[in-house]
Amino acid sequence: MTNSWTDIKNTDLVVIMGGNAAEAHPCGFKWVTEAKANRGAKLIVVDPRFTRSAAVADYYAPIRQGTDIAFLLGVMNYCIANNKVQWEYVKAFTNAPYIIKEGFGYQDGLFTGYDEAKRDYNKSTWDYELGADGYVKSDIDHPRSVWNLMKKHVSVYTPEMVERICGTPKDKFLKVAEMISECSSPTKTMTSMYALGWTQHSKGSQNIRCMAMLQLILGNIGVRGGGMNALRGHSNIQGLTDLGLMSNLLPGYLTIPNEKEATLDVYMSTRGFKPLRPNQMSYWQNYKKFFVSFQKAMWGSAATPENNFAYDYLPKLDVPSYDVLRVFELMHQGKVNGYFCQGFNPLLSAPNRKKLTAALSKLKYLVVMDPLQTETARFWQNHGEYNEVNSGSIQTEVIELPTTCFAEDEGSLTNSGRWLQWHWAGGTPPGEAKHDSWIMSQIHLRLKALYQKEGGAFSDPILKLDWRYKDPGSPTSEELAKEVNGYATEDITDPNDATKVVLAKGKQVVSFAVLRDDGKTACGCWIYSGSFNEAGNNMARRSTNDPDSTGAYPTWAWSWPVNRRILYNRASADINGKPWDDSRKLLWWDGSKWTGYDVPDILPTAKPDVVGPFIMNPEGTARLFTRGLMRDGPFPAHYEPFEAPVVNVLAPKIRGNPVARVFKGDMEQFGDAKEFPYAATSYRLTEHFHFWTKHAHNPAVMQPEFFVEIGEELAKQKGITGGGWVRVWSKRGSVKAKAVVTKRIKPLQCDGKTVHIVGIPLHWGFMGETKKGFGPNSLTPYVGDANIETPEYKAFLVDIESITGPTA
Amino acid sequence: MNMELSRRQFMKGASAGIAGTTLGALGFGDIEAAYASSIRPWKLANLTETRNTCTYCSVACGIIMYSKGDLKKGEKADIVHIEGDPDHPTNRGTLCPKGAALLDIVHAKTRTLYPQIRKPGSDKFERVSWDVALDRVARLMKDDRDKNFIAKNGDGVTVNRWLTTGFLAASATTNETAWATYKVVRSTGILAFDNQARV
Amino acid sequence: MTTTSPYDVQPGDRVHRRDPVVVDRHSSFVRVNHWTTVITMLLLWASGFALFHPSLYFLAGLFGSGENAREWHPWLGLVLFVAFYGLFFRFWRACLFAGEDSRWLAGLPKVMAGGDEERLPEVGRFNAGQKMFFWIMAIMVIIMLVTGLAMWDQYFYDYTTIEQKRIMVLIHSVVAVLVVCGVIVHVSMVIWERGTLQAMTRGYVTGGWAWKHHRKWLRELVTGGRVGP
Amino acid sequence: MANFEFVLPPAPTTNIKVAFGEGDLVARSASSVPPPAKQLTPVAKLIDVSKCIGCKACEVACLEWNNLRHPIGINTGSYNIPPDLDPNIFTVMRFTEWVNPETKNLEWLIRKDGCMHCVDPGCLKACPAPGAIVQYSNGIVDFDHEKCIGCGYCVRGCPFNIPRISRNADQPKAYKCTLCSDRVAVGQGPACAKSCPTHAIVFGTKDEMKKHAEGRIKDLKSRGFSNAGLYDPPGVGGTHVMYVLAHADKPEIYAGLPKDPKISTVVEIWKGLFKYAGFIAIGGLAAVSVLHQVIAGPNRVSRADEDNAKRLAGSDKK
């Protein structure tokens, strides 16, 4: 989220699209109801299903899953055509005026440079035209300005085209577009609340970008009540991502080197981020400080200038990422021997269950750390039709380690709004359950002992890992949190007076502003720097003070970066530093510095008309055109899901996202609309949380049994009755479920074809208190988003029939 | 941070005034009357309160856990009730159906209690000690790493990666656990490292 | 001795030529049956009326508690039903109306007011009043059973709607009151007609009692040869 | 936090002060109580159906607070799970898919069902067990399970079909929402109101709640719901659980919320008129019988009758 949950109360219009906040995040959704009740805000829900969010919406419009880009580009087209643009914002704070290289183009659904064999683009033309001074040329009226290219790009998405692609009736689309366009006024703002309804597509990243672009032309980024608000799923998935627990990341969104970057110098050469416009901050210029401090936190005194701060200790990537889809693909090929699942149940949460079971069966060992008895830890156990396996033929050794749960553990979690909140342990762990940090330490120490005793493959990174905790077998949360914040590894002196120590060795750094690239500071995660400094554990702050009731709560817990509550907050004021909306002031220029309710996103003394608000970009502005940063295009374009009920009307030859990665064998496992006529989607229900709450009694009482939802029309056609049993199958698998027949799902008319929708919630498995059941991952295709490989769970094809119930 | 402090902060906060007026308006004076026989005795009397955060979604609602026994005093603590934390700016004491049932996951019948190993081809888990389990994990890791570690790629570039073992990290552990996990996993050269952000 | 007997003569009915004449009227089985019915009915009243009006709630004390009263009441009701219908199947033929019954009824008020019973026609084993009591009770017991079952939530909750339950409970209490009224009449007649009670206690009546109140029945016994020493 | 009027305070664990009790009763089933020395401020729970997202948090919070263990059921083709109130669940969401005939729009009506805490409680009127159902001067209607005899009369008395009898228990008892009397007694709000994520359920004094409802109704009217209104039915003297309905003109579309609820005439006759009529009938008849015995004198068998009998039986010839 660019803003926070509590900031939503400041909005005038909430658009829930690609998510279902009322069901998945009820307590966050309260701020929508507050905005409605106290500001007269309106709520729009655009969804294939009439959800519980829609139940309290002012306006609901149906849409076919996987066509959000067409819808949103249609809205942009409407705004541009009707001059509903926050021009001052667009001209000052976005790259709209910049000129793009000659040769860039878009035709037949493809951008310049497509290589069909590689399923990839040569992106050399997707960039700015630079002037002789090395800066980007800027002229909004130029035919190749970002604005003019964008205007042309979106012009095809007329209301008629939107109806044809999305199935949204034209009048409903126009009503939504009109309501949204009103927020181009500087004194009206809109917030976008989205979640996996946008990410779980083969073009998930572009779905989100598309709304971000719309928000930029409406001037809604960086303002109170605006923003792009990703409703993260899990309690600390934001934290784990921030801390870089991903294949290609280091903490704080630094990146793992690839194998072409053999040395630190080469690695740094592509991460210098020289400003592209005059006077811009281009904050990533500090990259090396963060990187070196990270290396010091990892390997302490073993990371020295002489060994390039242990650069070689880091593994180097040979592919863009070893994401979960690639790893299961490799496992399926027999190329993975060992796998750890820490609080993760991939047997139910990764796509194509059949393939997953086959893959896990090829492992030599599987280690599962979890507070609950997961299906993954029991993938080898026969549970009848719910897990039909032959245990005897599975040679995987499985080790299940009991862990504590939240109630028994202390530490911080990062919420969707980037707040790091500390919590305390209140219960004794059951049985012999242990903290995850204890388990990880034990594994490390035992592995280290084996290497010390026996030697072995390159053991330095293990032997020299900085593990100086009071009890190395069990580091405390405080010790770890202090390490993440960062500290001085040596006395740091005043650059003007070498005798004056400004930060003594061992002291906590105040924030990332003092991190250094010479090895004198260590910091686990630079964006978390400031969370636990010499002022104490800021994450444990509990003051409910909220000056002028802005919803910022600046002294409740701690927000990254540097306790900033709204990202890009400088954009809340115009080019002269005057707030766009006096009733919703956030920051303003008082003549000499920035002041207001939040920590400014730029140097407090950076002049408003000189330094742009988007300091992480070398341009200092936000990007309507992303240059080469996204694999599937600098602008979003409509692509159908890989399994779509209709062909792509704009580019009939293209199936799915043309650059999404498809592994050998998986393409053949995609079904087509002839064989599988119904458009399925998967989702959560408010009564459950993924595959956890089926272990908890009361949630199991509230939704006891796996079901699928269909509309009355399809039910009638197929002779299906509510409460009866159905079989749903795709090219990859088949499930049995109870049927819920509802008015809330209606068939859509897309390109002259009636599209029926089948809704498949995801909470059932074969462990826990609920009735045994299946999940949508028995059906879903093995393909991910072109940029970040999030599996396409939200749009796929199935067939359905009525059956008699299971005999059991 | 202890409870007393946070309670004082709450009382200073703006919400205290509101809560106070509501209470006052309900006409509850300070008289101490006997319970009526229809009314159940107060079930949270003399329990220990601990502040925590809901483990589910990323709204991160504040919760108060009520336990018999105080962990901080070194006692065994049994959580008997969980309720929203009214001080919390986001949830204001409210909880969703999952959060309201947090107690049921803490005491789920299907919690893992002991380390277990399932041998190849077996149809059951066998309980083992932590030492046996952890030594086994370390041994399996080392054998696989020593056998499959790639120090240099085909071009002779130092790559120091281990691709035959992967690690899927949690989504509800603390940042501190995540950091400890990061250190341990990366130090081995594992690249097949991912979390729940995608699904 | 006889091959056929009149519709109202019971197998054990017998005239004994003693002084005074003794007539066997109710067998020991019938008497046990009757008193079972009486006792269950009293218990039903105690438990039922405890719930009928707060001023009678103390009656629940007989059962130990209100819960017990509530729990026993339907079971007692079943016992009463069985007991009463034991009597019913024994006497229903004897209680079929006969030709003289209407004349008997017509003459009854004057007799009640102290008139001479000789003016009434001779009646068989039961007079018209007894017969009416019998049939009314038979119907009311059925009504009590049906409405009672509808109130027996443990087993029959799902078979009625709330509105039906409300009507059922009203009917149950109205009929209960009618039953009580019927029994009051029944008992007061027994007391008024001296010599009647012993039919249910000792099982026999005097010949004079039979002569006076059920002369036709007495004649049937004699002519039917049901006479002994 | 100014806009959050009804945040409920943290639940205390020490220094617990009980604010009301036996002395605050205004009605007691099958018995009478002395008028209370003071009048507590009437409380109310306001359920704003237009804000409800049907998440069932209130159901779960209720189960947790009251330590109820409801069995795990099945899906019968809707979101109405558990399908009905029962002794193990005091509140349920009732989902109705309703197509507004005027706008042709689908509206998903979700109503939290449970005890309304009537000012004139039918359950209390029907209850035969002294003190099993009580009403406090703050409006709470509560069941005392020590005194409840499980007869189910409250089920018949309630115009909203709320109380349920635990049929399979050793000792059947009637159960329903207590308005969390134990929580209200120590200055807390009900568990459901505390949990409600959108504050669709709020709790306070009845006056506060009515005022709050006015604001909500104004907001709804501004959004085109011209028939929005408060449900506080006068037929039962008003209720201490009220609804804000977008279509207050037709409450029955909300899963059969009664339009003009009042204690059933049948129940009124049963518990009113007939109580007297019954006594009069029985008492009157008994009196008449006694009078008859006295006036008419006993009907005795005479010597002549015995002789006649002897003659008839032939024993005189012996």
Residues B83 and B128 in one domain: no
Residues B181 and B163 in one domain: yes
- The answer to the question of residue B80 being in a domain is yes
Final residue of a domain: which of B80, B106, B132? B106
Each residue's pLDDT tens digit, D173-220 = 999 999 999 999 988 899 999 999 999 999 999 999 999 999 999 999
Pick among D198, D212, D221, D253 to test the A interface (most A CBs inside 10 A): D198
- The answer to the question of residue B111 being in a domain is no
What average pLDDT does range B168-196 have in this prediction? 95
State residue B2's pLDDT score: 35
Q: A407 and B96: CB-CB below 8 Å?
A: no
- The answer to the question of residue B75 being in a domain is yes
Q: What percent of chain C has pLDDT over 90?
A: 83
CA distance D70 to chain A (A): 7
State residue A807's pLDDT score: 57
Pick among C23, C184, C227 to test the D interface (most D CBs inside 10 A): C184
Residues B45 and B96 in one domain: yes
Q: Which amino acid is at A772?
A: K
**Is C186 annotated as catalytic?**
yes
**CATH number of the domain enclosing B72:** 2.20.25.90
3-state helix, strand, coil in chain D (%, to 5): 30, 20, 50
- The answer to the question of residue B185 being in a domain is yes
- Per the structure block, which two tokens stand in for A198? 């946008």
Sign of CA dihedral A417, A422, A427, A428: positive
Question: What's the complex ipTM?
Answer: 0.94
Is the pLDDT at D315 greater than 80, yes or no? Answer: no
Nearest Cα to D138, choosing from D227, D207, D53?
D207
Beta strands in A536-646 (DSSP E): 536-537, 558-559, 587-589, 594-596
Q: C53 and D275: CB-CB below 8 Å?
A: yes
Each residue's pLDDT tens digit, D240-251 = 999 999 999 999
**Cα→Cα distances A197→A75, A192, A193, A630, A794, Å:** 18, 13, 10, 20, 6
State residue C41's pLDDT score: 97
Nearest Cα to A349, choosing from A682, A666, A48?
A682
Across the interface, of B113, B157, B192, the residue whose CB is closest to A433 is: B113
State residue D5's pLDDT score: 63
Is the Cβ of D47 closer than 8 Å to some Cβ of chain A?
A: no
- Please give the interface size between A and D, counted as residue pairs whose CB atoms are below 8 Å apart: 130
* Burial class of residue A516 in the structure, from the number of CB atoms within 10 Å of its CB (0-12 exposed, 13-18 middle, 19+ buried): buried
Nearest Cα to D26, choosing from D256, D308, D272, D237?
D237
- The answer to the question of residue B25 being in a domain is yes
Nearest Cα to C175, choosing from C43, C40, C45?
C45
Residues in chain B with CB shorter than 8 Å from the CB of D9 are 19, 22-23, 86
Catalytic residue among C172, C186, C213, C214: C186
Fold type of domain A667-803 = Barwin-like endoglucanases (2.40.40)
Residues in chain B with CB shorter than 8 Å from the CB of A302 are none
What average pLDDT does range B105-111 have in this prediction? 98
Q: A700 and D72: CB-CB below 8 Å?
A: yes
With CA atoms as reference, the chain D residue closest to A703 would be: D81
Is the pLDDT at D58 greater than 90, yes or no? Answer: yes
How many domains does chain B contain in total? 2
pLDDT band at B33 (very low <50, low <70, confident <90, very high): very low
Fold type of domain D22-263 = Alpha-Beta Plaits (3.30.70)
What residues make up the domain containing B192? 116-198
Q: C21 and D306: CB-CB below 8 Å?
A: yes
- The answer to the question of residue B164 being in a domain is yes
Residues in chain D with CB shorter than 8 Å from the CB of B66 are 11, 13
Residues in chain D with CB shorter than 8 Å from the CB of B22 are 5-6, 8-9, 204, 208
State residue D317's pLDDT score: 62
- DSSP type of residue D40: P
Beta strands in chain B (DSSP E): 48-53, 62-68, 78-84, 116-118, 126-127, 150-152, 158-161, 165-168, 193-194
Cβ atoms within 10 Å of C19's Cβ, excluding its own: 12
- B and A touching (3 or more beta-carbon pairs closer than 8 Å): yes
Across the interface, of C17, C71, C181, the residue whose CB is closest to D282 is: C181
State residue B6's pLDDT score: 35
Residue with tokens 């998945």: A24
Is the Cβ of D5 closer than 8 Å to some Cβ of chain A?
A: no
Domain assignments of chain D as residue spans, ordered by start: 22-263, 269-317
CA dihedral D67, D68, D71, D74 (to 10 degrees): -110
Each residue's pLDDT tens digit, C63-97 = 999 999 999 999 999 999 999 999 999 999 999 99
Fold type of domain A324-449 = Rossmann fold (3.40.50)
Is the pLDDT at B138 greater than 90, yes or no? Answer: yes
Cβ atoms within 10 Å of D80's Cβ, excluding its own: 17
With CA atoms as reference, the chain D residue closest to A27 would be: D197
| Residues in a beta bridge with A573 | A579
Residues in chain A with CB shorter than 8 Å from the CB of D73 are 701, 704-705
Is the Cβ of A772 closer than 8 Å to some Cβ of chain D?
A: no
B186 neighbors A298 (Cβ within 8 angstroms):
yes
Q: Which residues of chain A have pLDDT under 70?
A: 807-808
Final residue of a domain: which of B75, B106, B137? B106
Residues B11 and B99 in one domain: yes
State residue D316's pLDDT score: 66
A703 neighbors A688 (Cβ within 8 angstroms):
yes
D221 neighbors D211 (Cβ within 8 angstroms):
no
Residues B97 and B121 in one domain: no
CA–CA distance, D90 with D68 (Å, rounded to integer): 9
Residues B91 and B16 in one domain: yes
Find how far residue B41's CA is from the centre of its chain: 30
State residue D171's pLDDT score: 87
Residue with tokens 């459901």: D192
CA distance D150 to chain B (A): 15
- The answer to the question of residue B153 being in a domain is yes
Residues B136 and B154 in one domain: yes
What 3-state DSSP class applies to D260? coil
CA–CA distance, A515 with C225 (Å, rounded to integer): 128
Residues B90 and B181 in one domain: no
CA–CA distance, A283 with C95 (Å, rounded to integer): 109
Say if domain A5-230 classifies as CATH 3.30.465.10.
no
Pick among A56, A231, A546, A550 to test the D interface (most D CBs inside 10 A): A56
Residues B73 and B10 in one domain: yes
Residues B65 and B127 in one domain: no
Find how far residue A70's CA is from the centre of its chain: 21
Radius of gyration of chain A (CA): 27
- The answer to the question of residue B136 being in a domain is yes
Residue with tokens 């070893």: A322
CA distance A324 to chain B (A): 6
With CA atoms as reference, the chain D residue closest to A26 would be: D197
Residues B86 and B140 in one domain: no
- DSSP type of residue C144: H
**Chain mean pLDDT for chain D:** 93
Q: A743 and D106: CB-CB below 8 Å?
A: yes
Across the interface, of B29, B33, B100, the residue whose CB is closest to D61 is: B100
